[in-house]
Amino acid sequence: MSLKIKPVYINTLSIAAPNMIGLEQALPVLSGETQWQTGEFPKLAPQLLPANERRRTTSFIKLALQVADEANLADKQLPAVFASSNGDFHISNNICNTLSCDPKYISPTQFHNSVHNAAAGYWAIAAKSQAASTSISTGDSTFSSGLLEAVTQVLCQEEDVLYVAYDYPATAPLDKFSDVSEAFSTAFVLSLSKAEKSYGSIKLDISHVDIEKSRCINTSLNSLQDSNPIAESLPLLEALCLKNSTTLCLPYLNNSKLKVEVSHD
Amino acid sequence: MPISPLIITASSMVNALGRGKAATLSALKNNQSGLRLSKNLDFSTWLGQVDGVDDYPLEDDLSIFSCRNNQLAKLTLDIDGFRDAVNQAKEKYGADRIGVFLGSSTSGSEETEKAYLKRDENGDLPADYDFMHTHNFTSLLDYTQQSLGLTGVGHVISTACSSSAKVFAAAHRHIESGFCDAAIVGGVDTITQVSLYGFHSLQLTSAEPCRPCDENRDGISIGEAAGFALLEQTTSDSNSQVVLKGFGESSDAYHMSSPHPEGRGAADAMQQALNNASLAASDISYINLHGTATPANDAAEGKAITHVFDTQTPCSSTKGWTGHTLGAAGITEALICMLILEYQFLPANLNVNDLDSSLQIHVLLENLKPKQMINNVITNSFGFGGSNCSLILGLQT
């Protein structure tokens, strides 16, 4: 019998988006009590990073570490999956600017921050975690493929996994070529065992039927969902917060969908 | 946790040693390194470049993905009978049941470098620049899936120089969980200005051909490469002898661009791979080193190996042959290990004048025809951000 039929519990949950920094601030919107409105995204200062390391990191890396820290409630050194569609536009812009000048000198910090696993590396150092981490992308379907990777790790390795997904808007001139207009990140701890305050369980499958992607019940979130590949997680975050048992369809590769069966038993 | 092995039923590779597995095997056996002195940079360094990539167009209907990285991918999909093997697998499993897991450190980001040189007076990039189909990591996955006609699960892993080793672990998990029945793993990385000037700014490039494990080693030679492998749970083809037996993944949690000096994370990855393969250290006949030829990497890796293995286990870095192919190093060296198992020979660690006596490991200075059967080998890939992965490949038992 295949492992994928086992439920995987989402035991912690965090989010960072305009006017929703942290789950506490996001709950009224995710539970449908208030409407979401866009707003300026603040400069984050994730506390787990020592001040000297924080200075070396970019807004993109801080966006990941902020939610990773909030989700990792038990302060455990968990295996981690980091997912971002585009990587760090700010670093790409800086480095490509430098490379079009003479002499072509890239700062060592900019260079090591340019790797797609920069946030994962800072996370491991700050959390003192020698557990494995991976860093992935699949463009517009990045949230789904990261979730699938995290779930396969939980199922095969039978240990809790931290999942962190994040994308940050580009600056000029790259902004005209990107599909990210709002900052958005989210993180979960996924587990085979149900925690007391678990948000529910999920089972994943792939659907090749041509169906529409799921939308939030709170329709004010539609524009945010379309503003960032990671915000495709919003219908799932809403179902978890509302305790809705439902099956969601999130964008996946080649116009297929990741079917997410959410349960609350 | 012990894993069930996966059989490598087809594979293909292109690197500075040539196009196809036979070219790599022949260069290794004939002592021909692929490294050449670079002529187009403002500093001196040797590179492992692949010839003819720029003149190798993509399919007309996939030309939107055109960039050097995807062209190298196509060149590699087109050789070693790989497409035929994938077509047979499609008949067997269905196009939607074969996963694709690929590693790359820079994908097609060279297109962004080129676009920045063509900005107009307002600083805008040229209108024909296309970020999503070139620079974004998904470009490599989308191109490969569409070129092979596959519609199943997959993703791109980008963890610097461990990227295309970790794809084996991801593929195994997706098969084991039931999300696909077979998988293609691979890695594609072409040389970019970011890599060249980035490693140069860290003073990690050598002005000479790289000298892994040498007392006076002073940095890497950057290379480019691609490789693909088809992984299946069963096969009726008796020619397929090599299997993925284990993998180990860990983090250093130490520094963004330097390895832990005692090789803490590296030792952990090797030990996990052994546990995962249900093998003892004494079952391993050869270690393919990450062996980049930076002073810090080789020292840390040497220490890590002595924590796990007998110091007499033969080791070599093959970076002196191919250069450090970054995000493609994992697959390139895994496929070199496959050739080692199939042809029962061990490649030398090139360019050593004075072996670093502080390394307590048995470095092979010449190609060797082993006296005893090589049944299992391990290959190491470590990357920036402290990302480590070790793979164990072996003959089917």
CATH of the domain at A78: 3.40.47.10
pTM of the model: 0.98
Of B113, B156, B257, the CB nearest to A137: B156
pLDDT of residue B284 exceeding 80, the answer is yes
Strand B286-288 versus strand B314-316 pairing type: parallel
Average confidence score pLDDT of chain A? 95
Residue A1: predicted pLDDT: 62
- Residue A15 counted as domain residue: yes
Which residues span the domain enclosing B26? 6-395
Q: Amino acid identity, residue B171? A: A
Q: Does B202 touch chain A (CB under 8 A)?
A: yes
> Which of B179, B222, B388 would best serve as a mutation to test chain A binding (most A beta carbons within 10 A)?
B179
- Whether A206 sits inside 8 A of B152 (CB atoms) is yes
Task: Determine the pLDDT at residue B386.
Answer: 96
Smallest Cα distance from A213 to chain B, Å: 17
Between CA B87 and CA B340 the distance in angstroms is: 27
Contact flag B385-A118 (C-beta cutoff 8 Å) = yes
In this structure, are residues A81 and A134 in contact, taking their beta carbons and an 8 Å threshold? yes
What is the tally of structural domains in chain B? Answer: 1
Q: How far is A12 from chain B (nearest CA, A)?
A: 23
Q: How many domains are contained in chain A?
A: 1
Give me the residues of A, 241-260, that contact B with CB < 8 A.
253-254, 256
Chain A partners of B178 at a C-beta cutoff of 8 Å? 2-5
| Cβ proximity of B155 and B141 under 8 Å | yes
B334 within a domain of the structure (yes/no):
yes
Residues of B in contact with A128 (CB under 8 A): 253
The per-residue pLDDT for range A127-169, each reduced to its tens digit, is 999 999 999 999 999 999 999 999 999 999 999 999 999 999 9
Q: For the ranges B197-201, B202-206, B239-243, which has the lowest average pLDDT?
A: B239-243
Dihedral over Cα of B301, B303, B304, B306: its sign = positive
Residue A109 lies in a domain: yes
Are B119 and A118 inside 8 Å of each other by CB? Answer: no
Q: B176 — contact with chain A (CB < 8 Å)?
A: yes
Q: How many CB pairs under 8 A join A and B?
A: 227
Q: In this structure, is residue B384 part of a structural domain?
A: yes
Asked if the structure places residue A244 within a domain, the reply is no
Contacts of B177 (CB under 8 A, 6+ apart): A2, A3, A4, A151, A152, A155, A156
- Residue A112 inside a domain? The answer is yes
Predicted pLDDT at A199: 97
The answer, yes or no, to whether residue B34 has pLDDT greater than 70, is yes
Determine the length of chain B: 397
What is the mean pLDDT of the segment spanning B184-193?
A: 98
Tell me how far apart the alpha carbons of residues B6 and B303 are, in angstroms, rounded to a whole number: 30
The residue of chain A nearest to residue B123, with distances taken between CA atoms, is A173
CA of residue A73 relative to chain centroid, distance? 16
Q: Which of B45, B41, B24 is nearest to B33 (CA)?
A: B24
Min distance B250 CA to chain A CA atoms (Å):
4
Answer whether residue A215 is part of any domain. Answer: no
- Per residue in B142-161, pLDDT (tens digit) is 999 999 999 999 999 999 99
Of B1, B116, B154, the CB nearest to A157: B1
Put simply, whether A159 touches B (Cβ < 8 Å) is no
- Contacts A156 to B, Cβ<8 Å: 1, 172-173, 176-177
In a domain, B1, yes or no: no
- Whether A239 maps to a domain, the answer reads no
Q: Are B375 and B386 in contact (CB under 8 A)?
A: no
What CA–CA distance (Å, rounded) separates A151 from A157?
Answer: 10
The answer to whether B156 contacts chain A (CB < 8 Å) is yes
Q: What is the CATH number of the domain that holds B224?
A: 3.40.47.10
Contacting residues of A for B179, CB less than 8 Å apart: 4, 148, 152, 204, 206
The interface predicted TM-score (ipTM) is: 0.98
Judge whether A231 and A215 are in contact, CB under 8 Å: no
Of residues A99, A104, A177, nearest to B125 (C-beta): A177
Residues of B in contact with A99 (CB under 8 A): 113, 116, 193-194, 197
pLDDT per residue as tens digits for the range B101-134: 999 999 999 999 999 999 999 999 999 999 999 9
| Residue A206 covered by a domain | no
CA distance to partner chain B, nearest, from residue A156 (Å): 6
pLDDT for the residue A229: 98
- Residues in A closer than 8 angstroms to B119, CB to CB, are 100, 173
Active-site residue numbers of B?
A: 161, 290, 324
Q: Is A86 on the interface with B (CB under 8 A)?
A: yes
A97 in a structural domain: yes
Find the domain containing A42 and state its range: 3-199
